[in-house]
Structure 1
Amino acid sequence: MTPAQHPQDGDALLTLQDAVLTLDGNSGPVEILHDISLEVRKGETLALVGPSGSGKSSLLMLMGGLEQATAGRITALGQDLTAMGEDALARFRRAHMGVVFQSFHLIPTMTALENVATPLELMGARDAFQRAKAELEAVGLAHRADHLPAQMSGGEQQRVALARALAPRPALILADEPTGNLDQTNGAAVMDLLFSLRDRHGATLVMVTHAPELAARCDRVIALRDGRIQPEDSAQEAAE
């Protein structure tokens, strides 16, 4: 694993300050994340690891403004996400973030090309379909452009999802167990592709993963347990 690297002053793309996430449970409020303080440096790759239920995906959702912090502050690209409403957050994500989920979340009635072009069209890009075609070529799926998701394998669908997430050239890529629904061979191919696309676009990558070999490819590893960040030596052990 690459030695842990820490953000330098003024170099943070994303900052969480004492962030708390509390959700309503059957028996009352449940605190999912406790006083999370973390900086993500521009251009780095960061893995979030820990046992199931430790808060990894919830932390990723906070970073993307897909969940609102109950307390604390989250700043991305100089903008305070905790001060934004849902519409403003959606616009911010569309302009600056690419999100890749475990379950693909492709629109089933749209072709691969239409799925990739959709965020570009929402941004008002006049060349949305030309750019979408180029992104499908970059993930090796130009020949699948006119196919619906149901006509593609799981690995192909995740590659379309990658193309869709990266087509708008986001500054930040958030990936939540992107290989979780794939077999080992397809999972390895998708991860190779994700890292190569990240390198090509120069984006920052934050990834939730249970796979030590994937965490070890990142510049830095953050371990969570019971909604709290663990000491750095715990993260080192989790990535090995």
Structure 2
Amino acid sequence: MSDPVFHLSDVQLSLKGNAGPVDILRGISFDVQQGETIALTGPSGSGKSSLLMVMGGLEQATGGTVEALGENLSNLNEDALARFRRGRMGIVFQSFHLIPTMTALENVATPLELAGDADAFAKAEDALETVGLGHRINHYPAQMSGGEQQRVALARACAPRPAILLADEPTGNLDSANGAAIMDLLFDLRDKFGSTLVLVTHDPSLAARCDRSIALADGQVV
């Protein structure tokens, strides 16, 4: 078997609180293999989103080891983590995080441009076509529905054809019809690019579509 895409060993995360340190993650260990789709499940406050942030290098673990694509993320500073994510990881949040003063095309192209991609705008346009927004490339976020804005966010995450897709409750701000459409699209993009997908969800039917679920409670795998 090839090396895992993710290798987590005794991962811990403590954050400073008013009354002292708060243990968010308490000894998390598991591997994710190439091409797997994993659902992180559990009640609110169980540590799901924090775990996803640690896996994406957006939050630094305070103990244990987090390896992604063979790289120990614990050894990297913020700049090195940003360089590591670039082109390798696409991240989709519950909030769309679009830049309001940029068109859909510019929102998708800008990260590619920053990565030095000479074909940034062509790739961005192709990504928007892929998510069904070819007719909206010159529209601004305020001119689009929530479902369309999340499609732009998906296009931005997938435009570099990343090895890893991370999604944190990507349908949390959408109605059920738009949410179902976004999830179909996310799975289609996973298949198109052969990405490994890790998603946080409260939805049992969505978790059932994944290869396996990892359930958390009180910062631990149960």
The verdict on a shared fold, with TM-score over 0.5 as the criterion, is: yes
> 1:23 is matched with which residue?
15
Q: Paired residue for 2:37, among 31, 34, 45?
A: 45
> 1:238 is matched with which residue?
none
Moved over 2 A (4+): none
CA–CA separation in structure 2 for the residues paired with 1:118 and 1:38 = 34
The one-letter code of the counterpart of 2:151 is R
CA–CA separation in structure 1 for the residues paired with 2:180 and 2:87 = 29
SS at match of 1:90: helix
Deviation at 1:122, TM superposition (A): 1.3
CA–CA separation in structure 2 for the residues paired with 1:194 and 1:85 = 30
> 1:106 is matched with which residue?
98
1:1-80 to structure 2, matched below 5 A, reads 9-80=1-72
CA–CA separation in structure 1 for the residues paired with 2:87 and 2:120 = 14
CA–CA separation in structure 1 for the residues paired with 2:167 and 2:101 = 24
- In percent, how many aligned pairs have the same letter? 70
The one-letter code of the counterpart of 2:107 is N
Q: Does 1:180 align with 2:164?
A: no
TM-score, length of structure 2 as denominator length: 0.99
Superposed CA offset, 1:181-227 (max 9, x none): 00000000000000001100000000000000100000010000000
> 1:156 is matched with which residue?
148
Q: Paired residue for 1:169, among 154, 161, 167?
A: 161
CA–CA separation in structure 2 for the residues paired with 1:164 and 1:186 = 18
TM-score, length of structure 1 as denominator length: 0.91
Deviation at 1:174, TM superposition (A): 0.4
> 2:87 is matched with which residue?
95
Superposed CA offset, 1:78-133 (max 9, x none): 11100000000011111310000000101111000000101111111101000100
When the two chains are superposed, the root-mean-square deviation of aligned CA atoms in Å is: 0.7
Q: How many equivalent residue pairs?
A: 222
CA–CA separation in structure 1 for the residues paired with 2:212 and 2:114 = 33
SS at match of 1:12: coil
SS at match of 1:163: helix
